Amino acid sequence: MVVGLSCSHPHLKMNQTSASVLRQARRIVVKVGSSLVTNEGRGLDEAAIEEWSRQIAALVRDGREVIMVSSGAIAEGMKRLGWTRRPKEIHELQAAAAVGQMGLAQMYETRLKAHGLGSAQVLLTHADLADRERYLNARSTLLTLLQLGVVPVINENDTVVNDEIKFGDNDTLGALVANLVEADALIILTDQKGLYTADPRKEPAAKFVHEAQAGDPALEAMAGGAGSSLGKGGMITKILAAKRAAGSGASTVIAWGREPDALVRLSQGESIGTLLVAQTAKTQARKQWMADHLQLRGAVVVDAGAAAKLRDEGKSLLPIGMTAVEGEFSRGEVIAVRDAQGQEIARGLANYASAEARLLCRKPSSEFEKLLGYTGEPEMVHRDNLVMVSR
């Protein structure tokens, strides 16, 4: 039995608590699959992308920040190359992706611009998000784009990946991006209405899952199990993506992408598709991850004034308050913050590597460029990436 599961009709209203998940979401990652952005595999569907762009513009006008994770590059590349069958060789798939990315980026740019929005193409690999420094670089870029009012359009960098290009892999990428930018919600738009208790094509008695808890093991069984044939780009990848997104506090909706005004209606709290609710609050999830981080790569020692600002005022840690750097660590790794007596008072993500941090001790941000050769963040650890350690 799935805890919190409701097998209601997909068009019934959610209760107020559930409805507020999407209505209150300010930063949203939207993932659309190939079946929604292509004409049955024959290149890009301009009308569909226009529809997404119109709805994204409506969300932005409503004060939301939207990131688009879009498939479709390989299908568009096949069309441009005159190929009628999807190739099996990895180098041919990569070539098709390289050609198709041109059309995908151009299409989104044209349609978003028509609605007054700027756009940016961002190509990522899983390696980019596994490496802490590249992870922070990608995060900084995406957050800057959002601050500038630009809509990032993200796809996996299929031209350089070594693993087999799998259909449905962008579900995982959507979840990783949601974690990366600390999104409030992940919306996965697909060619299915949502999740059923069994395959409705085989089980006429299967019920629609209106709402459940993200990460509930019973959901994977419903979707066919991780090792089943249904798991290749099917519902299972979406269930696992929702589980991953929930780790950073983002709830997920899996919905039919052809539903009229799906994004707008979801943002208004209407029940469309399956809602998989994250059980941990966004800020709590991030702080808990840092608090539980056992492999600390190093530490910085701070003076009494900096310690007081951290403890009593919830401020960020500035290098001018640092007196020493211990150990060797890279940008993006979790480090300890110690007071003059050696007591750990906090831990968080370092914006600078240990070698750079040593140069910045006792220095104001106005001197960073002269010392480092570039201008980085003014904080050693931003307050959003800092958790206090109770004694």
Q: Annotate 211-244 with three-state secondary structure.
A: EEECCCHHHHHHCCCCCCHHHCCCHHHHHHHHHH
Give 164's DSSP letter.
P
- The answer to which of 25-29, 39-43, 179-183 has the lowest mean pLDDT is 39-43
pLDDT band for position 130 (cuts 50, 70, 90): low
Q: What is the value of pTM for the model shown?
A: 0.76
Cβ(65)–Cβ(26) below 8 Å: yes
What is the DSSP code string of 353-368?
-HHHHHHHTT--GGGH
For the residues 91-102, what does the mean pLDDT come to?
A: 91
Query: Does 132 score more than 80 pLDDT?
Result: no
Query: Does 226 score more than 50 pLDDT?
Result: no
Question: What confidence score (pLDDT) does residue 168 get?
Answer: 43
| Tens digit of each residue's pLDDT (9 = 90 or more) over 2-14 | 444 544 433 333 3
Taking phi over 0 as left and psi of -120 to 50 as alpha, with beta for the rest, 4 belongs to left
| Tens digit of each residue's pLDDT (9 = 90 or more) over 361-388 | 999 999 999 999 998 899 999 988 888 8
What structural domains does the chain harbor?
16-283 (3.40.1160.10), 293-388 (2.30.130.10)
CA distance 335 to 349: 6
Question: What confidence score (pLDDT) does residue 319 get?
Answer: 97
